[in-house]
Amino acid sequence: MAGWRSRLASHVAAELSTARGAVRQLAQRADRRATEAKRAASRAMDTAREKQAALTSTHRAEVDRITAKAESDIDNAVAELTEVTARLSAPCADAEWSRWTPAPVDRSLAAPLLRVGSLAIGSADAETQRPPALVGLMDHSHLRIAGAAEAALPSVLLRAIGCAEPGACRLTVYDPERLGGSLAGFAPLAPAGLLSFVGPHGLSDMLDEHVEHIRRINATVLAGDHASLRELAETTGRRPEPWRLLVLLGAEMDDWTKDQRAQLTRIRRTGVACGVHLIVVGTDAADDANTLSLDTTSTTLAGQAPVRLDPAPPSALITGTCRRIAEVYAAGPQPTRLSDLIPETLWTKSSACELSVPLGEGSDGRLADIVLGDNPPHALIGGPSGSGKTNLIYSWLGALTARYHPDELALYMLDFKEGVSFARFAGGRRDPSWLPHVRLVGVNINDDREFGLALLRYLRQELRRRAEAAKRHEATKLEELRAVDPQGRWPRIMAVIDEFQVLLDGRDSVAAEAVALLEDLARRGRSQGIHLVLASQDVAGIEALWGRPSLIAQFTLRIALPKARRLLAEANNLAEEIPRYHAVVNSDSGVTQANRVVRLPNASDRAVWDPLQEKLWRQRPADNDSPLLFDGDHVPVLPERIELPTTDPTPVAVLGKAIDVSSRAATLRLTRTPGRNLAILGTRTTEACDVLAGAALSVARTTDVRVTICCLDPDAAAHAYRLAWACEAAGSTVDWQDKLDEVVTAWEEQPTDRPHLVLLYAVDAAGSSLTTAGRNALRSMLLTGPERRVHTFGWWRSVPRLREDLGGYAARFDAIDAWVALDVQGPELAPLSPQPGGPAWYPRTRRGLFFDRAVHRQAEVLIPYDTESVLPTVDNMLTGSPADEH
């Protein structure tokens, strides 16, 4: 038994041991696998961890990148917004009140939006880098300010008045509770009429007044041509009406009457287009599209973006700004601009019927025209010194010359004042350009009334020429003449005479002739296109015209500058009331009903005038000559050559420059007839020497002459020597004599093959030293010399001394055909003059009165030429010979 059992046992044991071994092996294998699996799992975990770490950092980087981009985009957008909004609110939108100053916007632009704070967006810390929070007001909308944001009101108002020209923004504050407490800083505007406070009792009137204002603007300013004042400004560059801000503080609108609410609704609906803007602070009744809102943290324009309001402006800033604005405004409105009167295209108008141009801005904000034609034909301008007459003339001329071609308009400008206000039209060293329409400019002519007379005579001649042409063509007025004679040059003529009363001064022949000519021109010039424009600062001057009813009646166009007196009709006092730089333009002889107030541009400023003149000058026609300039202060130099109207060979002596429109020389023809001598009368040595030298030299330069010189005044000797030299240099034979006796006896011995000039300086100095025979010989030379070609040019220092030399009381003056009087009074010239009592002559420096019996009915005024610079100097004479000069 034991055997099998033991064998079984050992078999089982063996089996067990095998199984155990197998199990062990299995267990070891499983162990190994588990270890391997664990390792693999651990590796996988490690890998997964690594991957996750990598992913996380990529994600983080991506998130960072996106965040950075978003932030930069936001900042860029904010910067862009800041820039755009800053532009919209420029120019006086500085966030810092310490840097803020008023900066009025150009009149042709819409008003800017107004800054009230900043938008709390973007990353910038600095207030200035944040976009401004804006509200619209002038030219944009009405504004509603929530009660809690009332502190923003001073800032809105200050910025509003700061971006308008002084006076162009006016405030009315309805403040039933506090009467202006919060706006006390704006009080300096009140005395200038730029701010008014209204209490409950004034509400209806205030609303009515604003509604009426809107109605007037719609009817007369916009007048259907423009939708709003903003559009008017943008298209025309003009802003004729101020903005009116109507501030309603704590208004209980529910308690208002029906009428008051209706008026407010009208203002809401139509005010913005007419520059009337509401600022309602506190509870507001309606919500409409014309109104923007401002709260403590938002504005309509900012949308969802949170708003941070600016601090209130310091009260000193408000008061100071308002005071300055009020001062500038009180000083008077700024003038309109000359450029407003200038059309884009030059010279497009015809003057056939009239001259019609804008002169300035009328009270309706439109350009006001001024017309000269058949009616009104002539203008009278008046105003005290400094009231702007010259400036008005410039404005008028600027508008005229830009519209009418120089073939359509010719200007003759005369200024009797001491000054050169018209000289700029003639061109000069500083500015070579001239105004192409101007044919003649006279300046500094206050002592030379003869020049005014000369112009009037010239115009009368032109009037005759026109009248004859009209008659030939069976035309009755310029318009018809131009229609039937289209090739003819018939410009309208405008003659402007500033301080014309000088011409009418006194009771002499000049004044009498001037009045007669003015009357004739005024009466007949109307239909022939000749227009007179007379200006005066002097009431007496204007009054001088009132004394001549037929003359003043022709001047139906009256232009009165501020404080002009006696220019308009008796009861018409408007000129007393208008502010400076304005004029009353009245084309019906000054009757009140025809008054128009015109605001004038600043045209006298050279910076404004010169570019216009330069532009016109560059376009001038090829045959346009510079205007003739007559300057009373200028002493003309003896010209090298003088154009004479005749070509006959008779010697002609040039005595001076005539005071007339053509600038001709005053001459004396030396024919072989008795009396062709010249006497120069007076004590002014220089001028007498100049007349003698001019006369002798002008003959010597053109004719082969013999010259005898005798100088009895030591002060004139140097001049006489120099003249002798110059005559010799011109080819003359010159004989110098120290004694008058010798001259008067020797003349007959000279051959008569050529003219002989005897130049006697200070003849009367010979006095008693001249023997009786000598005196007779002198008379004989004077009487009979010219027939033998001997012409005496003698200088006597007084008329009695000449008379003495000619034979005392019984003297005959027929040996002296021609004379030039210097400082000799008119009555003294009676014996030499055809006028009983002598000519009306008041001696004045550098002027002589010239009479030639052969040609004159009346003596004429001349300006002795300066010969100083045409004669050789003493140094020249010492170092050269006359032949060198020749």
Ligand X SMILES: Nc1ncnc2c1ncn2[C@@H]1O[C@H](COP(=O)(O)OP(=O)(O)OP(=O)(O)O)[C@@H](O)[C@H]1O
Which residues sit at the interface with ligand X, rule CB under 6 A?
Answer: 335, 383, 385-391, 417, 537, 581, 600-602, 604
Distance of CA 233 to the CA centre of its chain: 22
Closest separation in Å from C-beta 334 to ligand X: 8
385 is annotated as contributing to ligand binding? yes
List the structure tokens of 800.
């009695």
- Residue 604 or 750 having the CB closest to ligand X: 604
69 is annotated as contributing to ligand binding? no
Closest separation in Å from C-beta 604 to ligand X: 4
Residue type, 864: P
Closest separation in Å from C-beta 564 to ligand X: 10
DSSP lists the bridge partners of residue 219 as none
257 is annotated as contributing to ligand binding? no
User: Per this entry, what is the length of the chain?
Assistant: 886
Distance of CA 48 to the CA centre of its chain: 89
| CA distance linking residue 714 with residue 723, whole number of Å | 15
- Residue 394 or 793 having the CB closest to ligand X: 394
Closest separation in Å from C-beta 335 to ligand X: 3
| CA distance linking residue 838 with residue 862, whole number of Å | 17
345 is annotated as contributing to ligand binding? no
- Residue 118 or 390 having the CB closest to ligand X: 390
**761 φ/ψ sector (left φ>0, alpha ψ -120 to 50, else beta):** beta
Calculate ∠ Cα 569-570-572, nearest 5°: 65
* 733-737/557-560 β-pairing: unpaired
Three-state secondary-structure class, residue 354: strand
Closest separation in Å from C-beta 597 to ligand X: 13
Closest separation in Å from C-beta 575 to ligand X: 13
- Residue 200 or 333 having the CB closest to ligand X: 333
390 is annotated as contributing to ligand binding? yes
Gyration radius of the chain's alpha carbons: 49
- Residue 118 or 387 having the CB closest to ligand X: 387
- Residue 386 or 432 having the CB closest to ligand X: 386
In angstroms, the first-to-last Cα distance of the chain is: 187
Q: List helix spans (H) across 90-179.
A: 153-162
Phi, psi of 653, deg, nearest 5:
-100, 135
Are the CB atoms for 627 and 414 separated by under 8 Å? no
DSSP lists the bridge partners of residue 132 as 118
Closest separation in Å from C-beta 537 to ligand X: 4
Three-state secondary-structure class, residue 425: helix
- Residue 182 or 604 having the CB closest to ligand X: 604
Are the CB atoms for 585 and 594 separated by under 8 Å? no
Closest separation in Å from C-beta 858 to ligand X: 32
384 is annotated as contributing to ligand binding? yes
* 354-362/379-382 β-pairing: unpaired
Contacts 24+ apart (CB under 8 A), 189-196: 189/161, 189/322, 189/325, 189/326, 191/326, 191/330, 192/167, 192/325, 192/326, 192/327, 192/329, 192/330, 194/161, 194/167, 194/169, 194/170, 194/325, 194/326, 194/329, 195/170, 195/171, 195/322, 196/171, 196/172
Closest separation in Å from C-beta 486 to ligand X: 39
* 243-249/169-174 β-pairing: parallel
| CA distance linking residue 569 with residue 522, whole number of Å | 20
800 is annotated as contributing to ligand binding? no
List of residues 6+ apart from 403 with CB closer than 8 A: 343, 346, 347, 348, 349, 357
**Run of H or E residues at 461:** helix 449-472
List of residues 6+ apart from 128 with CB closer than 8 A: 95, 96
Closest separation in Å from C-beta 189 to ligand X: 24
- Residue 385 or 550 having the CB closest to ligand X: 385
List the structure tokens of 674.
């008795």
Closest separation in Å from C-beta 581 to ligand X: 4
Residue 659: which of 824, 822, 521, 846 has the closest Cα? 846
Residues contributing to the annotated binding site for ATP? 383-390
Binding-site annotation, residues: 383-390
